[in-house]
Structure 1
Amino acid sequence: MKPAAQLTLGAIAVAIALAAGYFAGTRNAEHSAPASADATPTADGSGGKKILYYRNPMGLPDTSPVPKKDSMGMDYIPVYEGEDAGPDDTGAVTVSPARLQTLGVRTALAEPRTLDEPVRAVGRVAINERRVVDVAPRFEGWIERLHVNASGDPVRRGQALFSVYAPELVSAGSELQIAERLQRDASSDPSAAASAQRLAEATRARVSNWQMKLPEGTKAGNGRLTFTSPANGVVMEKKAVEGMRFMPGEALFRIADLSTVWVLADVYERDLARVKPGQHATVTLDAFPGRRFDATVAYLYPTLDAATRTTPMRLELANPDGLLRPGLFAHADIATGKAAPVLTVPASALIDSGERQVVLVAQDEGRFLPKAVKVGRRGSDHIEILDGIAAGERVVVSANFLIDAESNLRAALASFTAGQDNGAATAPTYSAEGTLDAIDLSADTVSITHGEIPALKWPPMTMDFSLASPEVAKGIAPGSPIRFEFEQRAPGEFAITRIEAATPASTGHKGH
């Protein structure tokens, strides 16, 4: 062999050796990769504990042996060894100390206490209608001067409001002066004296009807008079204007005494039997956060609003500082509770699904036992427990929903895993014969007339089934006799898993 050929063969041998080395290294790397991959899901993120699996962050029964994200990009949550203990045979749930600290679990004692059991209502501050007065002259006249000339001004009893000129007062004064003079001059004539006396009395009666007074021996005067405030309060309305003419009975001022006010609140129909006049109430206002005002239930109106199913209630309360302005929005709590103490738990301890009420009772070593309870009256912060737990038991008052949700999730995962491991846990399957009446591939349903199915105690009938997949009915035409198998996937939900054509002679509309 020539030297050049030997050199070429040597180069080829070196290349083959290098390629073999690269291939061997690649194979070794491939065989070693799973070891590190296996170490990833069991890597410890909590003090050396082994990660068993990763669960769906939205609570769905979906797990993964390796880290992953859900459809919304949220990371699956690791479940560590020692945390996967679901409910035991007593129904207790075990939570690790690290998880307890993460969830922020707090507990409280079930203990006897007096429930305030308030009835809550909303309403508004209103004027005390018993303390409203109108200033309305009973005669005709003109306003010459205003002494109080603005709505909202505070006034005192006896304070001058306005001065008027009234021609009728001048006329009445003149009549009274003439009658008194005739009465003196006719002293020798008893009949004339009596007539003069009757005229004077009639004049005084007319002036009295005007709520005015002309004392004995009065003179005609100039017909001018000053009206004063009949009560302490605030001017709510003022119609008087200087120079205006007013007619008899026209209200020129409206004055309200706001030293006491009302709160008109609406009580729901279900609470009517618990509210009675004389009960104590507490009023809070959005205008004055943190302040509470004592009130008394004064009256429960006899009517009910059919639209809102509420009855108006009237509360009375003092307003010495004038803070309670008519129209303010108010919250009222009426104390209707009984004085005897009852067994209670904090309101946050109750897990109420609507059909059942449960509390989580804390036991030793991070174990929590769910107990069904019977609930009585509800107070503002506590709930009466009629049955289910005893005084002195410690219940979870925070993070109880998270513990309950996690225990339910673990139970669901356990049944989900058991269903995968045990083929006997699959849905029951039934077979029958019949006639395919119609196919609706848009809804993945078929209509079949079948015979009696003894396993389900079904008589012969025509009904709709769902298809496990559109391929199940492929190649089968409507009107064909068929044999089919179906399974029950949920109450009232039956899915056909197999359909095959059958000869008319072999179909007797049987099922088993």
Structure 2
Amino acid sequence: MTRYLQLILVLLLGSGLGFWVAHLDVTKLDSDASNEKKPLYYRHPMNPQVTSPTPAKDEMGMDYVAVFAEPPAATGLSPKPGKILYYRHPMGAADTSPVPKKDEMGMDYLPVYEGELAVSGQIQISPEKIQKLGVTTATVSQRALIRSLRALGSIEVDERRVHAVTPRFEGWIQQLYVNVTGQAVKRGQPLLEIYSPELMTAQQEYLIAQEGKQTLQQASAQARDTAARLAENALQRLHYWDIAPAQIRRLQNTGKPLETLPLLSPVNGVVLEKPAVEGMRFMPGELLFRIADLSTVWLLAEVFEQDSGGIKPGQVVQVQINAYPEKRFNGKVDFIYPTLATETRTVKVRIELANAEGLLKPGLYGSVILATQTDGGTVLAIPDSAVIDSGVRQVVLLQKDGGTFEPRTVKLGRQADGYYEVMEGLMSGDVVVTRANFLIDAESNLKSALDSFSKEAVTDVQAPAEAAPEQHQHEGH
């Protein structure tokens, strides 16, 4: 009997415990159901652009996906105060929606709150977002714009250092000492041995005048003066014919005319031309040798007309020759030619280069690095990375107080050394964005576009909400 009472007691306790557990589960389920988030709308499982306010199935029988409002904690952003006016495209396209929506990539449209349209043409960005975008700025200031440009050219002979060897009397080439084009010669080095009847006659006249001068020592003063003038004139003729002083002294010391005389090199240089041939007859003024002094050479560079204005005579340049890629040669601008080549629209610039080692040979090809500077010293300038060029206009983003940015149209001048000259639109001390400006500009352009029809957008959003009750009332009747 006792065991039977124990069994009944256990059954009663189990039933009571089950009742309370079931009651607790139902209460929990009811609480969870009441706290369950309600979806904003339902979207197509394969096409996010297709939405429905109620649960639905697509053409393949798949359920539409519920879209819920994400809590502020999920995005890590603090909720914005104010009423949501509409939703805008997340990538900056000029597209708005009165209800939450996703773009073609599945990204949620961003809400636009009251108060965001307070200042037209400006955009407000939080300090956290500025840091995340990596925004950097620069101050508009005065600076000298120095632009480095490269021009091509070739090595040429310095025209001022070219010498032509031309005798001033008639004769024959008895012997050639320098008979190879390109041979290096020294100043005073014999080039050839010449024979000339005119030269022989001039020597004899000088010797006769000298002998008469000695004979007439006891004669009258007039006779002595006449003999002295004859000797001096004969000697001066030898000087005019470029007879070397050493040869004249030899003539004076020996008292005998020289049958042949050497023709000497006038400079140190290289033989560029050698029309002289052994045994040939030459006439007064005929070219026998052309010798160039290559201790200094020219580089004739072609500079485009738009770059020629900043080049000044005397400025130092660097030259690179293709034959010596590891070397840099220093030179200076010696002359800017006054004419423009209409075929190539270039101006010829002459660079003077020292050639002590003889590496710079005429005809070698090379390039010159020229630094051009703006006239008048410094100009108002900004980094070229700050400019957003649409092809029609140039815009910079001007930083205001409190994380506000304003697009500003500017007029630019020359570009050099990573900077633009600012002619209009900015003042010294203004701060412009130099990095992430394209991202800010995308939002700024969107905001300017939204500002232009913000009132219409708000009206379109509010009108359906106000018209809906009236529609239901008519339907009710």
- Same fold by TM-score greater than 0.5: yes
2:241 pairs with 1:210: yes
Q: Partner of 2:160 in structure 1?
A: 130
In the alignment, what sits opposite 1:239?
275
Contact 1:105-1:396 at 8 Å conserved across structures: no
Q: Which structure has more helix as a fraction of its residues?
A: 2
Do residues 333 (structure 1) and 371 (structure 2) align?
Answer: yes
Q: Residue 144 of structure 1: CA displacement?
A: 1.1
Matched, 1:251 2:280: no
> What are the ranges of 5 or more consecutive residues in structure 1 without an aligned counterpart?
1-26, 68-76, 424-512
Corresponding residue of 1:357: 394
Q: Secondary structure at the match of 1:344?
A: strand
Pair 1:207–1:342, CA change in 2 (3 A): closer
* Aligned residue type for 1:205: Q
Which residue pairs with 2:475 in the alignment? none
Shift of 1:349: 1.9
SS at match of 1:206: helix
Deviation at 1:292, TM superposition (A): 6.9
Deviation at 1:295, TM superposition (A): 2.0
Query: In the aligned structure 2, how far is the partner of 1:109 from the partner of 1:376?
Result: 18
Pick one of 108, 128, 141 that aligns with 2:172: 141
Q: Are the equivalent residues in 2 in contact too, given 1:285–1:291 (CA < 8 A)?
A: yes
How far 1:382 moved relative to its partner? Answer: 1.8
**Structure 1 residues 240 and 95 mapped into 2: Cα distance closer, same or farther (>3 Å)?**
farther
Written as runs of structure 1 = structure 2, the 5 A alignment for 1:168-207 is 168-184=198-214, 199-207=230-238
Q: Is the counterpart of residue 110 in structure 1 residue 139 in structure 2?
A: yes
Q: Distance in 2 between matches of 1:266 and 1:334?
A: 15
CA 1:192–1:342 in structure 2 vs 1: closer, same or farther (change >3 Å)?
closer
The answer to whether the 8 Å contact 1:83/1:95 transfers is no
Alpha-carbon distance in structure 2 between the residues aligned to 1:28 and 1:263? 78
Comparing 376-385 with 410-419, greater Cα deviation is found at 410-419
Q: Is the 8 A contact 2:193 2:260 kept in 1?
A: no
**Superposition deviation, residue 286 in structure 1:** 6.2
> Contact 1:117–1:377 at 8 Å: present in 2 too?
no
- For 1:290 and 1:417, locate their aligned partners in 2 and report how far apart those are by CA, in whole Å: 65
CA contact (8 A) 2:143 2:379 kept: yes
Opposite residue 280 of structure 1, the aligned amino acid is Q
Alignment partner of 1:149: what SS? coil
Counterpart residue identity of residue 145, structure 2: D
Structure 2: distance between partners of 1:241 and 1:105: 79
> TM-score, normalising length from structure 1?
0.53
2:317 to 258, 282, 286: 282
In 1, Cα distance between equivalents of 2:441 and 2:136: 15
**Compared CA separation, residues 371 and 320, structure 1 to 2 (3 A):** farther
Contact 2:142/2:380 (8 A) holds in 1: yes
Q: Tell me, in whole angstroms, the C-alpha distance in 2 between the residues paired with 1:131 and 1:306.
A: 30
> How has the CA–CA distance of structure 1 residues 364 and 183 changed in structure 2, closer, same or farther, with 3 Å as cutoff?
closer
Q: Which residue of the partner structure matches residue 442 of structure 1?
A: none
- 1:255-275: CA deviations, max 9, x gaps? 333444445556777788766
8 Å CA contact 2:397–2:407 kept in 1: the answer is yes
Q: Are the equivalent residues in 2 in contact too, given 1:260–1:317 (CA < 8 A)?
A: yes
Q: Which residue of 2 aligns with 1:220?
A: 257
CA contact (8 A) 2:305 2:345 kept: yes
Deviation at 1:198, TM superposition (A): 5.4
Contact 2:140 2:431 in 1 (8 A): no
| 8 Å CA contact 1:146, 1:241 repeated in 2 | no
1: CA distance between counterparts of 2:241 and 2:195?
A: 14
Aligned equivalents of 1:83, 1:364: Cα separation in 2:
24
Q: Is the 8 A contact 2:90 2:109 kept in 1?
A: no
CA separation of 1:335/1:220 partners in 2, compared to 1, >3 Å: closer, same or farther?
Answer: same
Alignment map for 1:310-459 (pairs within 5 Å): 314-316=350-352, 318-322=354-358, 325-326=361-362, 328-339=366-377, 342-353=379-390, 356-361=393-398, 368-375=405-412, 378-385=415-422, 388-389=425-426, 394-397=431-434, 400=437, 404=441, 408=445
Note closer, same or farther for the CA distance 1:241–1:409 as it changes in structure 2 (3 Å cut): farther
Structure with higher Rg: it is 2
Indicate conservation of the 8 Å contact 2:173/2:195, yes or no. yes
1:157 counterpart = 2:187: yes
More displaced 10-residue stretch of structure 1: 306-315 or 247-256: 306-315
Counterparts of 1:325 and 1:100 in 2: how far apart (Å)?
59
Equivalent residue for 1:501? none
For residue 471 of structure 1, what is the aligned residue in structure 2?
A: none
Structure-1 separation of matches of 2:372 and 2:273: 33
Any conservation in 1 of the 2:317–2:368 contact (CA below 8 Å)? no
Task: Using CA pairs under 8 Å that are at least 6 residues apart, name the structure with larger relative contact order, 1 or 2.
Answer: 2
Asked if the contact 2:395–2:407 (Cα under 8 Å) also holds between the matched residues in 1, the reply is yes
CA distance in 1, matches of 2:355, 2:373: 21
Label 1:381 to 1:391 Cα distance change in 2 as closer, same or farther (>3 A).
Answer: same
1:420–1:338: structure 2 CA closer, same or farther, 3 Å change rule?
A: closer
The secondary structure found in structure 1 opposite 2:285 is coil
Identity of aligned residues (%): 36
Residue segments in structure 2 that go unaligned for 5+ positions in a row: 1-56, 78-86, 96-100, 461-477
Q: Cα 1:185–1:374, aligned 2, differ >3 Å: closer, same or farther?
A: closer
Equivalent residues, number: 374
Cα distance in 1 for partners of 2:162, 2:117 equals 69
**Coordinate RMSD, CA, aligned:** 5.5
The match for 2:121 is 91
